[in-house]
Amino acid sequence: MIMTSAISTENFFTNAHKNTILSDDRKKLLLKISQEVFKEYTKDGIVNLNFICTHNSRRSQLGQVWGFYAAAYFNLNIHSYSGGTEVTAFFRNTVKTLQSVGFTFDLQNSSHQNPRYIISFEGTSKSILGFSKRFYDQENKKPFIAITTCNNADTNCPLIPEATLRFHLPFVDPKSSDDTSLQEETYLKTNQQIAAEIYYIFSKIKDSLV
């Protein structure tokens, strides 16, 4: 099921979890990530996650935003960042699909090439800064656990010195739908998939802390 209307961020997040079917292999991978993040969390009571994709424009940005939301939802001291092997821009269709499920984007600067957004959601005073950057940008706090979200990032980043751990969690790139009639639906499907898997990871961490 793909949600096709604008609803609250919380409803989209919880419905994504309920309505997304995960394979057994995918659950094993998500559970492994949650267990390792939990181990790091118990050391210092804080974890930095860095979602990495080649262009830092779609999937890695979705990972960062949903990680930001999940930390608030589950009341966990986990900070999410994103980066790429190249700098492009926080792609407009990615912004649109997040806006459609309740995230607010306040433009911090008007750079046409790579604008910066202050991203938040209803019910919180917290926000994150969203823009395209390399994974080692100074905005990304270290040390961090790296989560690569596309095949190119996994191939092109054989060494991430700042990462205490590294996991490959690939998602289908919605880019193929750009400028087609399926664009909105495809981006929303990717949005839902990433929200569901972030929910799974963070919920398991929360359960382990109880």
> For position 1, what pLDDT does the model report?
38
Percentage of residues in the chain with pLDDT exceeding 70?
94
In a domain, 202, yes or no: no
Task: Determine the average pLDDT of the residues in 143-161.
Answer: 81
Number of folded domains in the chain? Answer: 1
In a domain, 7, yes or no: no
Helices (H) and strands (E) in the chain, counts: 6, 7
pLDDT in tens, 36-83: 999 999 999 999 999 999 999 999 999 999 999 999 999 999 999 999
In a domain, 54, yes or no: yes
Q: Which residues of 118-143 are buried (b: 16+ CB within 10 A; e: fewer)?
A: ebbbeeeeeebebbbbebbbeebeee
Candidate from 22-31, 39-48, 148-157, 180-189 with smallest mean pLDDT:
148-157
What mean pLDDT, rounded, does the chain reach? 93
In a domain, 11, yes or no: no
Q: Give the CATH number of the domain where residue 76 resides.
A: 3.40.50.2300
Alpha carbons within 13 angstroms on the beta-carbon side of residue 109 total 11
Domain of residue 175, residue span:
24-193
* Ramachandran bin of 149, using left for φ above 0, alpha for ψ from -120 to 50, beta for the remaining angles: alpha
Note the pTM of the prediction, 2 decimals. Answer: 0.94
pLDDT in tens, 165-179: 999 999 999 999 999
Task: Write the CA distances from 165 to 47, 70, 115, 189, integer angstroms.
Answer: 11, 20, 30, 28
In a domain, 90, yes or no: yes
> For position 90, what pLDDT does the model report?
96
